[in-house]
Amino acid sequence: MALVKPLGGEVTLTIEAPVDKVWALVSDVTRIGEFSPETFEARWTRGSTGPEVGATFSGHVKRNGVGPTYWSPCRVTVADEPRHFEWSVGTEKVHVNNWGYRLREVGATTTEVTEYFRLEPALPVRLYWLVLGRLRGRTNEKGMRTTLDRMKAVLER
Protein backbone atom coordinates (compact mmCIF):
# COMPACT_ATOMS: atom_id res chain seq x y z
CA MET A 1 0.00 0.00 0.00
CA ALA A 2 1.40 3.39 -1.02
CA LEU A 3 1.40 6.23 1.46
CA VAL A 4 0.10 9.49 0.07
CA LYS A 5 1.11 12.67 1.89
CA PRO A 6 -1.96 14.84 2.46
CA LEU A 7 -2.13 18.09 0.54
CA GLY A 8 -2.06 20.26 3.62
CA GLY A 9 -1.21 20.56 7.27
CA GLU A 10 -2.38 21.89 10.60
CA VAL A 11 -1.23 23.28 13.94
CA THR A 12 -3.20 23.16 17.20
CA LEU A 13 -2.78 25.38 20.26
CA THR A 14 -4.74 25.77 23.50
CA ILE A 15 -5.68 29.34 24.36
CA GLU A 16 -6.95 30.54 27.73
CA ALA A 17 -9.91 32.47 26.33
CA PRO A 18 -13.60 31.66 25.83
CA VAL A 19 -14.55 30.25 22.44
CA ASP A 20 -16.68 33.26 21.47
CA LYS A 21 -13.75 35.62 22.03
CA VAL A 22 -11.45 33.36 19.95
CA TRP A 23 -14.09 33.15 17.20
CA ALA A 24 -14.38 36.95 17.06
CA LEU A 25 -10.64 37.21 16.50
CA VAL A 26 -10.05 34.40 13.97
CA SER A 27 -13.08 35.38 11.87
CA ASP A 28 -12.09 39.07 11.66
CA VAL A 29 -9.93 38.91 8.55
CA THR A 30 -9.09 42.61 8.86
CA ARG A 31 -6.88 41.77 11.87
CA ILE A 32 -4.75 39.06 10.22
CA GLY A 33 -1.89 41.50 9.64
CA GLU A 34 -1.34 41.60 13.41
CA PHE A 35 -0.62 37.88 13.51
CA SER A 36 0.46 36.31 10.21
CA PRO A 37 4.09 36.35 9.07
CA GLU A 38 2.96 36.33 5.40
CA THR A 39 -0.42 38.06 5.12
CA PHE A 40 0.16 41.58 6.35
CA GLU A 41 -3.33 42.96 5.71
CA ALA A 42 -6.77 41.94 4.49
CA ARG A 43 -10.01 43.71 3.70
CA TRP A 44 -13.56 42.68 2.98
CA THR A 45 -14.53 43.19 -0.69
CA ARG A 46 -17.64 43.36 -2.88
CA GLY A 47 -19.79 44.75 -0.08
CA SER A 48 -18.91 41.98 2.40
CA THR A 49 -18.53 43.14 5.98
CA GLY A 50 -18.08 40.01 8.04
CA PRO A 51 -17.76 36.26 8.30
CA GLU A 52 -20.61 34.59 6.43
CA VAL A 53 -20.59 31.94 3.72
CA GLY A 54 -20.02 33.62 0.36
CA ALA A 55 -18.43 36.78 1.79
CA THR A 56 -15.32 37.88 -0.06
CA PHE A 57 -12.09 39.50 1.00
CA SER A 58 -8.58 40.07 -0.31
CA GLY A 59 -5.42 39.24 1.55
CA HIS A 60 -2.20 41.17 0.90
CA VAL A 61 0.56 38.58 0.99
CA LYS A 62 4.33 38.80 1.10
CA ARG A 63 5.29 35.25 0.12
CA ASN A 64 7.61 33.64 2.68
CA GLY A 65 7.81 37.02 4.39
CA VAL A 66 10.21 38.30 1.71
CA GLY A 67 8.26 38.44 -1.55
CA PRO A 68 6.82 38.53 -4.08
CA THR A 69 3.97 40.66 -2.75
CA TYR A 70 0.46 40.27 -4.17
CA TRP A 71 -3.26 40.40 -3.35
CA SER A 72 -5.12 37.08 -3.10
CA PRO A 73 -8.89 36.98 -3.61
CA CYS A 74 -10.67 34.86 -0.98
CA ARG A 75 -14.21 33.59 -0.37
CA VAL A 76 -15.63 32.38 2.95
CA THR A 77 -16.73 28.74 2.57
CA VAL A 78 -17.57 27.87 6.20
CA ALA A 79 -18.80 30.25 8.90
CA ASP A 80 -20.13 27.98 11.64
CA GLU A 81 -19.93 30.29 14.66
CA PRO A 82 -18.22 29.62 17.03
CA ARG A 83 -16.73 26.34 15.76
CA HIS A 84 -15.34 26.61 12.25
CA PHE A 85 -14.21 29.40 9.92
CA GLU A 86 -12.77 28.57 6.48
CA TRP A 87 -12.06 30.34 3.21
CA SER A 88 -10.83 29.42 -0.26
CA VAL A 89 -8.04 31.31 -1.99
CA GLY A 90 -8.37 32.03 -5.70
CA THR A 91 -11.01 33.15 -8.13
CA GLU A 92 -14.64 31.99 -8.22
CA LYS A 93 -13.74 29.52 -10.98
CA VAL A 94 -10.30 28.40 -9.81
CA HIS A 95 -9.21 28.16 -6.22
CA VAL A 96 -5.93 26.63 -5.20
CA ASN A 97 -6.15 26.19 -1.47
CA ASN A 98 -8.28 26.55 1.63
CA TRP A 99 -7.38 27.93 5.03
CA GLY A 100 -9.33 27.79 8.23
CA TYR A 101 -9.71 27.56 11.97
CA ARG A 102 -11.49 24.86 13.95
CA LEU A 103 -12.36 25.82 17.53
CA ARG A 104 -13.17 23.41 20.34
CA GLU A 105 -14.31 24.64 23.72
CA VAL A 106 -12.41 22.66 26.38
CA GLY A 107 -13.62 24.72 29.34
CA ALA A 108 -15.59 27.85 30.05
CA THR A 109 -12.47 29.95 29.47
CA THR A 110 -10.30 27.63 27.37
CA THR A 111 -10.38 26.95 23.63
CA GLU A 112 -8.39 24.54 21.50
CA VAL A 113 -7.67 26.23 18.15
CA THR A 114 -6.52 24.39 15.05
CA GLU A 115 -5.34 26.41 12.06
CA TYR A 116 -5.06 24.41 8.86
CA PHE A 117 -4.51 24.61 5.14
CA ARG A 118 -5.65 22.20 2.46
CA LEU A 119 -4.65 22.37 -1.20
CA GLU A 120 -7.10 21.47 -3.94
CA PRO A 121 -6.28 18.08 -5.50
CA ALA A 122 -6.02 19.30 -9.12
CA LEU A 123 -3.14 17.73 -11.07
CA PRO A 124 -0.93 20.88 -11.24
CA VAL A 125 -1.32 21.39 -7.50
CA ARG A 126 -0.53 17.72 -6.77
CA LEU A 127 2.62 17.99 -8.91
CA TYR A 128 3.65 21.18 -7.09
CA TRP A 129 3.09 19.42 -3.75
CA LEU A 130 5.11 16.41 -4.89
CA VAL A 131 8.10 18.63 -5.72
CA LEU A 132 7.87 21.41 -3.12
CA GLY A 133 5.29 20.12 -0.65
CA ARG A 134 7.64 19.20 2.16
CA LEU A 135 9.35 22.61 2.10
CA ARG A 136 6.13 24.62 1.66
CA GLY A 137 4.36 22.50 4.27
CA ARG A 138 7.09 23.27 6.83
CA THR A 139 6.90 26.97 5.97
CA ASN A 140 3.11 26.98 6.36
CA GLU A 141 3.24 25.08 9.64
CA LYS A 142 5.85 27.46 11.03
CA GLY A 143 3.70 30.41 9.92
CA MET A 144 0.56 28.90 11.48
CA ARG A 145 2.43 28.33 14.75
CA THR A 146 3.58 31.97 14.71
CA THR A 147 0.06 33.18 13.92
CA LEU A 148 -1.52 31.15 16.73
CA ASP A 149 1.18 32.17 19.23
CA ARG A 150 0.56 35.84 18.42
CA MET A 151 -3.22 35.39 18.69
CA LYS A 152 -2.75 33.61 22.01
CA ALA A 153 -0.70 36.53 23.35
CA VAL A 154 -3.47 38.99 22.45
CA LEU A 155 -6.33 36.81 23.71
CA GLU A 156 -4.65 35.96 27.00
CA ARG A 157 -3.85 39.58 27.96
pLDDT tens sequence across 129-151? 888 888 888 999 999 999 999 99
For CA atoms 149, 150, 151, 156, give the dihedral sign: positive
**Chain-wide mean pLDDT for the chain?**
93
CATH classification of 10-155 is 3.30.530.20, yes or no?
yes
Each domain of the chain, given as residue ranges in start order, spans 10-155
pLDDT in tens, 48-57: 999 999 999 9
Strand pairing report for 110-119 and 69-80: unpaired
**Do residues 55 and 44 make contact, with C-beta atoms less than 8 angstroms apart?**
yes
Whole-model pTM? 0.92
H or E stretch covering 133:
helix 123-155
